[in-house]
Amino acid sequence: MPSSSQRFDLSGKVAIITGASKGIGEAIARGLAEHGASVVVSSRSQPAVESVAASLRAAGYEATAVACHVGDEGQLEQLVAATVAQYGGVDILINNAATNPVFGPLETMDGAVFDKVMNVNVRACFLLANRCKPLMEKRGGGSIINIASVEGIKPSPMMGVYSVSKAALIMLTQSQAREWGAAGIRSNAICPGLIQTKFSSALWQNEAILNHFVGQLPAGRMAQPEEMVGLAVYLASAASSYSTGGVFTADGGHLIAG
């Protein structure tokens, strides 16, 4: 029986991380690599992901950069093919790439905004997981981690379409867990709260909005991307072998705040 520390070891595992050129995705890629995984760092810009992969290799870790716009189904196929060509398969999938192009009331959103958000935040995760599933089965199982949001559980004003997409991603996670458990594939969702990233800059760069959010949090502050890594390593590793269909929050107490 492996020790508790050994159960977090990801040596020999191959992980794809989307949206990994910065923020939460980059932090998770680094965390998985530090625990022994070979990581495929993916985002829309090849120079951006190559920079991340190069910094990981310079630190002695195994990393490959593959550009991919997750809203393009053909590029998703190429991402998986490149991973298989480089490493022979996939064990871990981190669906982290997301978009939220507009803040505003639901009634001001049009169909184009809705379609864009759902395409990137839900459809891409669905398609990429479906392509990874048979590869995981061949390797005896795997772990899918969908980066959702507390917005998918408790919506905030002006973020309605984004909240809808993250609620759908949580249900996709639970459906994957239900249907793919027999194949040894686990699927779990991480729901971050307010994290200081470029993605959320419209919130935290506005002092009034930031003070409003932080003032209600039991933790009394927003988080850094690195604070999401512990959950990701746990869910990617054998330490979480009995965890599937879970919705794990890391929100500074947002869901219990008034």
Active site residues: 162
Distance CA 217, CA 221 (A): 7
Residue 186, both tokens:
């686990």
Place of tokens 């969908």: 146
| Alpha carbon separation from 26 to 1, 44, 145, 249 (Å, rounded) | 32, 13, 15, 19
The single-letter DSSP state of residue 9 is -
Distance of CA 232 to the CA centre of its chain: 8
Q: Are 121 and 163 in contact (CB under 8 A)?
A: no
- Rounded to 5 degrees, what are φ and ψ at 184? 80, 15
Residue 138: its H or E element: helix 124-138
Distance CA 204, CA 198 (A): 9
Name the residue type at position 83.
Answer: T
Q: Are 107 and 157 in contact (CB under 8 A)?
A: no
Name the residue type at position 132.
Answer: C
The CB density around residue 130, as the number of other CB atoms within 10 Å, is 12
Name the residue type at position 109.
Answer: M
Helix/strand/coil for 35: coil
